[in-house]
Amino acid sequence: MFDGKFVCFSNLPGPLSLVGGRIVVDQTDFPGIHIAARNLAEDFARVTKGAPSPLHILTDEKNCFSNEVDAAIIVGIIEKMDNPYKGCRRALVIAGSDKRGAIFGVYALSEQIGVSPWYWWADVVPEPREEIYALPVITTQGEPSIRFRGIFIDDEAPSLTGWAQEKFGGYDVDFYKKVFELLLRLKANFLWPAMWPGYPNPGASFFLDDLENQKTAEEYGICISTSHHEPMQRLSNEWFAENPDGSWNWLTNKQKITKFFDEGVRRAKGCESYFTMGMRGEYDRKMPTDDPAAVVRDVIKTQRAIIKDIHGREDTVPQLLDLYKEVQEQYESSRLEVPNDVTLLFSDDNFGTIRRLPRGDEAKRMGGAGIYYHFEYVGVPRSYKWTNSISLPLEIPMTFFMRLACDISSIKADGFAHFFSTMAKREFGPELSHKVGAEWHEYDRLASMRRHEHIEPHTFSLLHYNEAEYILGRWKALLADAEGINERTPKSQHASVFELVVHPIKASYIFVALQTSLGSNQTYARQHRNSANMLAQRVLDLFNADFSLSEEFHALLNGRWNHIMQQPHHGFGDSWHAPSRDMISGLCHVHQRRQNSNPIAGRMGIAVEGHGAGETYDILLDGNQVMQAHRLLSEPVRVGELPDGWASAVQDCIWVRKHKLAGD
């Protein structure tokens, strides 16, 4: 998508035809290169609608590449070459300075012939092509800005877990093969695998759910690590499957925990790993001790001794310390000594704001530094797990940060519109690129105002400046455009347009409409308006529409994504916990047909912008307030059974203009 163009679809002078050509790999190549080559063969079949390109394995040393490519200082190179090996006159050669360099080059070719990295996870259908040519150019992909780039599959229940249980029987090797392939197509190479406690008990455990998981990650070329609070290639669920609550305590159970660490390092030997160091309390909580920094120092000392015993040296394998929450405070107090070769992993505040970056000599450390950034979160003050989180619709944020990690200069501070339109072009073609890109850009603006789970009935003001109406109007207009795009796209693209464009926008519109309608219902009820009941029914209708939209997603493509949007997102209480079932609270009703208002108040009220009261004697405008000229909304509202006529009795003033003087 962002690489230099090296493929075209018309026969110009010089290009090399790729359709029907053999894909050739060396027998001695890394297994992940063979896997990528097989996927490339399938990708050509997806685009040409023919059989997969034939795969040829070179086994004779005499046939190996004679015209060597100098890839010593670059990650990947793609070059059209004459006589690359015996018996071949012309070829498109893909080479890398390491195992992943060649793999990234293969998937760059896949992307340029029209296969999106999201072809499987978002059902993106490539544009059919009869002819595909390699241009006579040399394309290089330089060293990535960030050496290790990956994701953390966290808080995966109920949505991802429910889907994985139905489609794969759990987080087995077939599930992870799809994850590994996606990561490599996005030029990522690192994974913190699923690990959340849940169902079936004790929850996900990458190393035990399928004994092929770790081995297969190595074959694909994915570096496996474990989350910020799970050290030494061991998962919490492994520990608590055999040990009771309260046992994860270094001060009282050091010997058993040390053995637990040792087993993790030995099990990972021979597989590329990034060892998480240190220790937190049980279930990702603070450590219950008066001096946690002293405990963590002793933990790291023990962990380093284990690594030295198994690998020969303390610094022979990559290690990181996640400075998450209180661990950063321990580090900044200078009481937590971190070895120079250990990567400092700084964290955001769980809501997208970076707490700090490396400074001074920290940037010169041998272990370097990294960022642990949240696109979803479970914890105080409130969890957020619904749309654009672990459920599924994380395609755009993932593409964005992986692109930045590969080349930090590829997206400028003022280049978001270009990023969105470029990604839209890859997924849906040039005809829709600007329209879909504009949809994503506006969605990003609106969603960034407040996370969905943090929007409540009165988040956007119902009384001042028509804020709630204005925000909802933008969502409504965005949805109309999205549905218009869907109507104009070919049937083959409807699934991907629904998943990537229509659903996130429609789900957001319904959610915001429900919350603002609930706020209006509560406000109108306090004003004793008859229309409060109409708004209560609107809230219930939107509540049903919200669930129906999830059902529509689950039914898509014969249930391909069943369960994936089942995360409850209505009904947060005072706790930070996500609700276990959707619930609407705070609905208000008035007696509309059987009860009038007190005669003192009358059966007609006045709603004035900026005031929640609806009865005449409750409204008092501040005479000392200096306001610019604007339209002050003042409208009569019914607060009783029988209709009343009304008439304006405002004195004529040069600074007041009455638009309506009487009514029924």
Q: Where residue 325 sits, what CATH number does that domain have?
A: 3.20.20.520
One DSSP character per residue, 600-641 reads TT-SEEEEETT----SGGG----TT----S----EEEEE-SS
* Residue 583 in domain: no
- pLDDT tops 90 at residue 506: yes
* Residue 385 in domain: yes
Long-range contacts of 289-293 (CB under 8 A, 24+ apart): 289/251, 292/326, 292/330, 293/330, 293/333, 293/335, 293/336
* Residue 466 in domain: yes
- pLDDT tops 80 at residue 528: yes
When pLDDT is cut at 50, 70 and 90, the band that residue 600 belongs to is: low
- pLDDT tops 80 at residue 224: yes
Does one domain contain both 214 and 359?
A: yes
In the three-class reduction of DSSP (H, G, I as helix; E, B as strand; rest coil), residue 24 is classed as strand
For the full predicted model, state whether its pTM sits above 0.85: yes
Does one domain contain both 190 and 209?
A: yes
Among 404, 430, 451, which residue terminates a domain?
404
Does one domain contain both 180 and 133?
A: no
CATH of residue 459: 1.20.58.2150
614: domain range? 597-664
Range of lowest pLDDT (238-252, 535-549, 619-633): 619-633
CA 529 → CA 72, 75, 271, 513, 534, distances in Å?
75, 68, 68, 20, 10
* Residue 13 in domain: yes
Does one domain contain both 384 and 243?
A: yes
How many domains, the chain?
A: 4
CATH of residue 26: 3.30.379.10
| Averaged pLDDT for residues 42-46 | 96
Does one domain contain both 69 and 163?
A: no
| Averaged pLDDT for residues 83-112 | 86
| Averaged pLDDT for residues 221-228 | 97
Does one domain contain both 172 and 271?
A: yes
Furthest-apart CA atoms within the chain: distance in Å: 104
Does one domain contain both 612 and 553?
A: no
- pLDDT tops 50 at residue 495: yes
CA atoms of 324 and 345, how far apart (whole Å) = 8
**Can you give the pLDDT at residue 662?**
58
Does one domain contain both 297 and 242?
A: yes
Does one domain contain both 74 and 161?
A: no
Does one domain contain both 23 and 156?
A: no
* Residue 587 in domain: no
| Averaged pLDDT for residues 489-517 | 97
CA atoms of 525 and 504, how far apart (whole Å) = 31
* Residue 349 in domain: yes
* Residue 286 in domain: yes
| 335 Cβ neighbours under 8 A, 6+ residues apart | 293, 294, 297
| Averaged pLDDT for residues 50-72 | 60
| Averaged pLDDT for residues 267-281 | 97
Of all residues in the chain, the percent with pLDDT exceeding 90 is 65
Among 404, 438, 454, which residue terminates a domain?
404
In the three-class reduction of DSSP (H, G, I as helix; E, B as strand; rest coil), residue 212 is classed as coil
Q: Which amino acid is at 244?
A: P
Does one domain contain both 385 and 317?
A: yes
The two beta strands, 138-141 and 76-82, are: antiparallel
* SS3 annotation, 226-293: CCCCCCCCCCHHHHHCCCCCCCCCHHHHHHHHHHHHHHHHHHHCCCCEEEECCCCCHHHCCCCCCCHH
* Residue 351 in domain: yes
CA 610 → CA 59, 465, 565, 569, 604, distances in Å?
80, 8, 38, 30, 19
| 629 Cβ neighbours under 8 A, 6+ residues apart | none
Does one domain contain both 223 and 369?
A: yes
**Can you give the pLDDT at residue 657?**
64
Among 99, 115, 141, which residue terminates a domain?
141
| Averaged pLDDT for residues 377-400 | 78
